[in-house]
Amino acid sequence: MARYAVILALLALVLIVGAQAAGYKDVTKCQCGCPRIGPAVCGRNSRGKFKRFGNKCELDCHNCLKKDFYALTDLNNCHIIRTQVG
């Protein structure tokens, strides 16, 4: 019986470590009760993509829920229209 308890504990440990390695986020810790008003902000991710958010709370909520992290940047960056030359 003790052997089964050890096996079960090891299995639970493997699942927990695997979930953390896969980038699992505890969404219950995300503070996403954002107000609908507030100054708009712009964020930039690691690939250089800009995204406009309604306010900083929405940017923080996005970063908490998604793997795609946006860092706060100047709002003017989100107003730049990019065109392809070609």
For the chain of 86 residues, list the mean pLDDT of each consecutive stretch of 10: 67 56 61 90 95 95 93 91 45
Starting at the edge strand found earlier in the chain, the sheet holding 41-44 runs 50-53, 41-44, 71-73
Q: Is residue 26 part of a domain?
A: no
51 located within any domain: yes
- Rounded to 5°, the CA angle 20-65-47 comes to 90
Domain membership of residue 8 (yes or no) is no
Contact by Cβ (8 Å): 52, 42: yes
Q: State the pTM of this model.
A: 0.60
Q: Please indicate, yes or no, if residue 4 is contained in any of the structural domains.
A: no
